[in-house]
Amino acid sequence: MNEKYTVSDYGIFNDAITTTNKLKANIDTAQTTSNDVKSVIDNDAVFMGPCADSCVEAVNTLNGSMTVMTENFTTINNYLTEVATGYKNGDTAAMNKVLNLDSTSKKLSVGTHSVSSGNTQATSFNELGDRAYNGDKAAQQEWIEKVAAIVDSSQFDKYGMKNSLIIAQIINESGWMHTPKTKNPDGSTLTGNNNVLGINTDMGISADKQNSTWSQKRKSTQSNVTQWNSSGTQVIGTSEAMRTYDSVEECVEDYADILYTYHPECKGSNNLEDYRSFLEGYTPNPNGSTTDKYRHIIDMYDLEKYDR
């Protein structure tokens, strides 16, 4: 069936409103005429006779009835207009919701990949990530589609963050989730711990709140993390407590939760500039703006098509 229902199909309301308007106009005309008659009857110089008083009374009664009828038709007209508008707005909202759900469904099922089950392990990306990390364009596109589905289903309905930015950060922070070359002191890796966004245990927590439930809400491990010295040279740190997660989805949602808690202005925004304050503090870039770096990654891989 190719025929589509549209909110313009409200002829019944339009017809009813037109009819009541015509009836109201007819009454207005009749009332004007009766007022003309009343003015003649009230003029003793023009109209003389014992029936004048009773005529005036009859016309006044008629005018009163017409006034009530006019008010009734006005009420009916207003009601019909309000109902028609309500139905149109309701149908429009419902149609937009359906279209949005349809669009989201397609976005979360790009290619042959379905929505994440909620228990994705970063290690399952190692082989694909190795190829993507080494510049394989097809592997990069396949990786992006899979991660886009995870990102959207993990955080969007609750936090509404810019999907393309989170995807770009996972690319940057995890190196396409490729097989790590170095391990933590305990033999683990950030990828193995599903920490694909480089989230440390005390992110956003001031020194006097180190024992807060926030810093304790996730398991942690001492990790080798890339840091920068004052001259802009990369060094390896070995003493930073990094969070560990049971799945990639859990990491993405934790990231969105942190971001929204400290930067609520970012919620629901697709404007990268709204994230600048957060990004410049999250991963300082000694060689320039972190925000601009992520804008470059987003543009390079056309990631904004995954934004809602």
Specify the CATH number for the domain of residue 265.
1.10.530.10
Highest mean pLDDT among 47-51, 165-169, 288-292: 165-169
What pLDDT sits at residue 225?
A: 53
Could you report the per-residue pLDDT of 7-65, keeping only the tens digit for each? Answer: 455 566 677 777 777 777 878 887 787 777 777 777 766 555 656 666 777 777 777 77
Reported as a pLDDT band with limits 50, 70 and 90, residue 167 is very high
Predicted confidence (pLDDT) at residue 188 exceeds the cutoff of 80: no
Predicted confidence (pLDDT) at residue 95 exceeds the cutoff of 90: no
What pLDDT sits at residue 220?
A: 55
Q: Is residue 63 part of a domain?
A: yes
What pLDDT sits at residue 308?
A: 84
Rounded to 5°, the CA angle 235-240-244 comes to 120
The three-state secondary structure class of 263 is: coil
What pLDDT sits at residue 193?
A: 85
Residues 186 and 297 in one domain: yes
Number of domains in the chain: 2
Q: Is residue 209 part of a domain?
A: no
Residues 132, 128: Cα–Cα separation, whole Å: 6
Over residues 147-171, the mean pLDDT reads 87
Q: Is residue 288 part of a domain?
A: yes
CA-CA-CA-CA torsion for 232, 235, 239, 245, nearest 10 degrees? 90
Give the HSE-up count for residue 296: Cα atoms under 13 Å, Cβ half-sphere. 7
Residues 50 and 102 in one domain: yes
Residues 46 and 148 in one domain: no
74, 107, 140 — which closes off a domain? 107
Residues 87 and 187 in one domain: no
Burial of 135 (0-12, 13-18, 19+ CB in 10 A): exposed
Residues 147, 77: Cα–Cα separation, whole Å: 54
Give how far Cα 151 sits from Cα of 8, 77, 108, 122, 239, Å: 37, 50, 9, 13, 29
Instruction: Report percent pLDDT > 70 for the chain.
Output: 68
Residues 120, 125: Cα–Cα separation, whole Å: 9
Domain of 89, in residue numbers: 11-107
Q: Is residue 114 part of a domain?
A: no
Q: Is residue 230 part of a domain?
A: yes
* Mean of all residue pLDDT scores within the chain: 74
Question: 167-181, 209-223, 250-264, 285-299: lowest mean pLDDT where?
Answer: 209-223
Residues 192 and 272 in one domain: yes
Q: In this predicted model, which residue has the larger pLDDT, 116 or 120? A: 120
Over residues 288-304, the mean pLDDT reads 90
The three-state secondary structure class of 277 is: helix
Residues 180 and 249 in one domain: yes
Residues 23 and 126 in one domain: no
Residues 99 and 150 in one domain: no
Among 34, 30, 10, 12, which residue's Cα sits nearest to residue 22?
30
Residues 182 and 136 in one domain: yes
